[in-house]
Amino acid sequence: MEADTMNVVAPIEIAQPREAPRSASDREIVFETRGLTVSYGKAPAVSDVDLSIYRNLVTAIIGPSGCGKSTFLRSLNRMNDLVPSAKVEGEVLYHGQNIYGDGVDPSRCAGESGWSSRSRIRSRSRSTTTSPGACEFLG
């Protein structure tokens, strides 16, 4: 075949290697709870929870109905403040700042300008009693 009749072919696109998953110690922690206990009146709904939630890593909270998934999530943006009987103990850090600390405005914790909208929080329920009833995702 003569050179001037050959089709010009674009270079083949070569898949780029994926970034290797980072180890837990290298990841950025967005939320961290330390000894988080939330009670309604005298009844604890979640008790002494230490948990880190990392940037760009989907975290799913799974468990049977009533185990405290929503209570836990509401503690991350102070929505439990709207429940008169709810009492929150321990620490919830958002990028290292205790959102229950002195001088924090609770209204900053929810809504358009708050971290609940920037840190996507979704929940999905299933109506079954034989397996975990619902999943709540953070990512």
Ligand X SMILES: Nc1ncnc2c1ncn2[C@@H]1O[C@H](COP(=O)(O)OP(=O)(O)OP(=O)(O)O)[C@@H](O)[C@H]1O
Based on CB atoms, which residue is closest to ligand X, 55 or 87? Answer: 87
SS3 label, residue 75: helix
Q: Between residue 58 and residue 117, which ones bind ligand X under the rule CB under 6 A?
A: 63, 65-71, 83, 85
Please, what is the minimum distance in Å from the beta carbon of residue 126 to ligand X? Answer: 9
To which residue do tokens 């300008």 refer? Answer: 113
Q: Of these partners, Mg ion, ligand X, none, which one is at the site of residue 65 (CB under 5 to 8 Å by kind)?
A: ligand X
Q: Give the chain's largest Cα–Cα span.
A: 88
Q: Which residues contact 40 (CB under 8 A, 6 or more apart)?
A: 83, 85, 86, 87
Binding residue (CB under 5 A) for Mg ion from 33, 70, 77, 80: 70
Binding residue (CB under 6 A) for ligand X from 45, 76, 99, 110: 45
Give the side-chain half-sphere CA count within 13 A for 55.
10
- The H or E element spanning position 118 is helix 115-118
Based on CB atoms, which residue is closest to ligand X, 81 or 91? Answer: 81
SS3 label, residue 20: coil
Based on CB atoms, which residue is closest to ligand X, 27 or 81? Answer: 81
Positions touching Mg ion (CB under 5 A) are 70
